[in-house]
Amino acid sequence: MSYLIDGLQYSNWSEEVFRQIRAGGVDAVHVTLVYHENFRETVANIERWNRWFESWPELIFQGFGAEDIAKAHATGRTAIFFGAQNPSCIEDDIGLVEVLHRLGLRFMQLTYNNQSLLATGCYEAHDTGLTRMGREVVAEMNRVGMVVDMSHSGERSTLAAVEHSSRPIAITHANPAAWHPARRNKSDVVIGALAQTGGMLGFSLYPHHLKGGSDCTVEDFCTMIARTAERFGTHFLGIGTDLCLNQPDSVVEWMRTGRWTKTVDYGEGSKDAPGFPAMPGWFHDNRDFGNIARGLRAAGFTAPEVDGIMGGNWARFCAASFGAADRQDKAKRAAE
Amino acid sequence: MSYLIDGLQYSNWSEEVFRQIRAGGVDAVHVTLVYHENFRETVANIERWNRWFESWPELIFQGFGAEDIAKAHATGRTAIFFGAQNPSCIEDDIGLVEVLHRLGLRFMQLTYNNQSLLATGCYEAHDTGLTRMGREVVAEMNRVGMVVDMSHSGERSTLAAVEHSSRPIAITHANPAAWHPARRNKSDVVIGALAQTGGMLGFSLYPHHLKGGSDCTVEDFCTMIARTAERFGTHFLGIGTDLCLNQPDSVVEWMRTGRWTKTVDYGEGSKDAPGFPAMPGWFHDNRDFGNIARGLRAAGFTAPEVDGIMGGNWARFCAASFGAADRQDKAKRAAE
């Protein structure tokens, strides 16, 4: 049994994209439900997904537990797991963690580039780690079974989350900064902390996270993964493509600026290149995962290692992460 | 196996009340989550319940499916099923039906005394039946598995709901108007329609619904049930005590007037008797269900019939009602 799982996508969803996901044989996807939405707006986004689940039950269904990955595989469909890139969805209310978990939220970033009520984002000048509320919310996420995702967080906050969380955390979409020093890529200290605590790192295909950008070759990408594995092991590695298909400029602007500024923020882009860069030629959409799997084999990984990176490691992590703490706690301790 | 199930309570919840429920051996209770709350306020009420579930897991847990009644019975706890007395919780948004069902809402009244966006309440001068949105929402409730409750609705609206709903509906708390002609009690036409479609009628102990009010005897109450059974059968009969313990006047005022008036509305009370009337001496709280069961035996019901009225009929109804339509539809048709 080998699974194909993507640790992050946020496309402009449509029947066409869902059919691409099925054509690619993807068993499960963590999809972004929230950039800057408050609670009520988040619920409206869930309502949109409910319409899609009702419209295309032969292609997709909502995932709540890791068993839904196996169910998806067995029935030739894709399990969709909700995640938030920003804790805006819980507003100032810790009780919303359990409510949103009940509605299926399985990942939540503590920050999205900026300071939040919980922690510091990777674009801030000063990173003060977890706030008072941040520590409380991490404990509540641990209790109900919601993964702490630090993809867009600052280094100190990320290490504080690893330390404070009683369960392993994830960086669903980023690459090693040692390979390509983008502000969103992660230090070896952070990657080592993930490896040692049963966490997960999903390698990103967003061109700003790639050495050479859109021109990065699959050989370069897979060699980077091999170097990471040599140093830290393969057990905690997965893919988080950060795939964004067909989004209009208005949504890209919402992702970058939400309601927090009246000026233009280019995020990882720039004034000269404000749009989304072209994806590398070997990964256009969900039908291209085979290119990565073949590249990993060519880079020297064994077949079981490739299966782990392409989905097996995410499946194991989800099984340890999505249940309530009284049933599935101490996964982190077991991994230490 | 016999269950004890109450079709409606809305007490001021506390450890004391939960311990009374356990002392009474109640396996499941439909509790009121909403009087006039909008969606966000409803979620805040769910958060309060989540705190109670977390605080007293040895006494109560949230019920989502009928199997939770058996689980409660087997583990010596009480399953709490959420209901709304008013569709205010879905605001003007049909998508919130599925969202609230996911959060555990298993009953929703289409109206609470007044006209709603969906139907007409029993205190309005003109009852126009289901609205355009009302027909859509009933179909959506049928699809996801949320019981249509018409306890506070007008006669025409109630009969329209029975007719339009593809699944059996409930009147969780009311008595026959032929016995005591309160505005909230139900005509024989309505009771007959419930009996013929696999619906449910929960007999109420709220004194304004009782002949003789607080002085009504258990013999009178059980004889009324026996007369109803003789005419319509016992298969669709249950208890819905309408029990309200320890609520402060501020909550009683919220129940009656919400935000819809600036003047005082006494509901079933009056200017001379604005408060809640005293409960009859044979039913103070959840420890007194045995008095009803004994009264039913004395009124001539067989032991299996008493088991059905005290909980078995509700359990069967819940099993046919709480699942999605594609799994458990056509219960109504089967009952016809």
Distance CA B166, CA B189 (A): 19
Q: Provide CB contacts within 8 A for A60, sequence distance 6+.
A: A18, A21, A52, A53, A77, A78, A79, A80
pLDDT over 70 percentage in chain B: 96
Mean pLDDT of B133-160: 98
A44 interfaces chain B, CB cutoff of 8 Å:
yes
- H or E element, residue B149: strand B147-149
CB B138 within 8 Å of CB B149 = no
Secondary-structure breakdown of chain A: helix, strand, coil percentages, each rounded to the nearest 5: 45, 15, 40
Mean pLDDT of B16-28: 98
Task: Quickly state the pLDDT bin for B1 (edges 50, 70, 90).
Answer: low
> Which DSSP symbol is given to B49?
H
Q: Which residue has the tokens 């054509």?
A: A23
Other CB atoms within 10 Å distance of the CB of residue B263: 5
**Residue A110 to residues A158, B233, B302: CA-CA distances in angstroms?**
9, 58, 60
Mean pLDDT of B82-105: 98
Distance CA A4, CA A166 (A): 27
List, run by run, the mean pLDDT of 10-residue segments along chain A (336 residues): 94 97 98 98 98 98 98 98 98 98 98 97 96 98 98 98 98 98 97 98 97 97 98 98 92 90 82 84 98 98 98 98 74 49
State the best of A50, A92, A142 to mutate against chain B, taking most chain B CBs within 10 Å: A50
Distance CA A35, CA A33 (A): 7
Q: What is the ipTM of this complex?
A: 0.89
Pull the structure tokens for residue B291: 């008095």
Chain A residues with CB under 8 Å of B50 CB are: 95, 98-99
Q: What is the pLDDT of residue B267?
A: 77
Q: What is the pLDDT of residue B69?
A: 98
Chain B residues with CB under 8 Å of A50 CB are: 95, 98-99
Q: How far A142 CA sits from the closest chain B CA (Å)?
A: 14
- Own/partner pairs for B46-53, CB < 8 Å, 24+ apart? B46/A99, B46/B82, B46/B103, B46/B104, B47/A93, B47/A95, B47/A96, B47/A98, B47/A99, B49/B80, B49/B82, B50/A95, B50/A98, B50/A99, B51/A95, B52/B13, B52/B18, B53/B80
Distance CA B213, CA B211 (A): 5
Closest CA to A242 of A295, A302, A182: A182
Q: How far B102 CA sits from the closest chain A CA (Å)?
A: 6
- Do A98 and B47 count as a contact with CB atoms less than 8 A apart? yes
Closest CA to B66 of B27, B96, B36: B27
Closest CA to B174 of B160, B157, B156, B188: B188
* Least confident window among A181-190, A268-277, B18-27, B110-119: A268-277
Residue A135, Cα to own-chain centre: how many angstroms?
21
Other CB atoms within 10 Å distance of the CB of residue B286: 25
Q: How far B92 CA sits from the closest chain A CA (Å)?
A: 12
A272 interfaces chain B, CB cutoff of 8 Å:
no
Q: What is the pLDDT of residue A306?
A: 98
Distance CA B70, CA B60 (A): 13
CB A225 within 8 Å of CB A296 = yes
Q: How many pairs of residues across A and B have Cβ atoms under 8 Å apart?
A: 39
Closest CA to A162 of A130, A133, A188, A140: A130
- Do B47 and A103 count as a contact with CB atoms less than 8 A apart? no
Segment B208-259, tens digit of pLDDT: 999 999 999 999 999 999 999 999 999 999 999 999 999 988 888 899 899 9
Mean pLDDT of B50-57: 98
Closest CA to B310 of B240, B228, B211: B240
Residue of A nearest to B53 (CA): A98
Selected residues 78-107 of chain B with any CB under 8 Å from a CB in chain A? 93, 95-96, 98-99, 102-104
3-state SS class at B234? coil
Burial (Cβ within 10 Å: 0-12, 13-18, ≥19) of residue A248: exposed
- Do B43 and A39 count as a contact with CB atoms less than 8 A apart? yes
Chain A residues with CB under 8 Å of B145 CB are: none
| pLDDT beyond 60 at B120 | yes
Domain ranges of chain A: 5-335
Q: What is the pLDDT of residue A1?
A: 67
Q: How far B54 CA sits from the closest chain A CA (Å)?
A: 11
Mean pLDDT of B177-186: 97
Pull the structure tokens for residue A216: 């990065």
Residue B111, Cα to own-chain centre: how many angstroms?
13
Chain A residues with CB under 8 Å of B53 CB are: none
State the best of A33, A62, A102 to mutate against chain B, taking most chain B CBs within 10 Å: A102
CB A57 within 8 Å of CB A107 = no
Chain A residues with CB under 8 Å of B96 CB are: 43, 47
Across the interface, of B47, B51, B99, the residue whose CB is closest to A47 is: B99
Burial (Cβ within 10 Å: 0-12, 13-18, ≥19) of residue B335: middle
B139 interfaces chain A, CB cutoff of 8 Å:
no
Q: How far A44 CA sits from the closest chain B CA (Å)?
A: 8
- H or E element, residue A224: helix A218-232
Terminal CA-to-CA distance of chain A, rounded, Å?
26
Chain B residues with CB under 8 Å of A44 CB are: 95
Residue of B nearest to A42 (CA): B99
Mean pLDDT of B123-152: 97
Q: How far A37 CA sits from the closest chain B CA (Å)?
A: 15
**Following CA atoms B52, B55, B58, B63 in sequence, which dihedral angle do they give, to the nearest 10 degrees?**
30
Closest CA to A134 of A113, A152, A115, A151: A115
CATH architecture label of B5-335: Alpha-Beta Barrel (3.20)
- Do B50 and A98 count as a contact with CB atoms less than 8 A apart? yes
pTM > 0.90: yes or no: yes
Q: What is the pLDDT of residue A336?
A: 45
Q: Provide CB contacts within 8 A for B292, sequence distance 6+.
A: B218, B221, B222, B239, B282, B283, B310
Distance CA A117, CA B321 (A): 42
Chain A residues with CB under 8 Å of B140 CB are: none
Chain B residues with CB under 8 Å of A46 CB are: 99
A51 interfaces chain B, CB cutoff of 8 Å:
yes
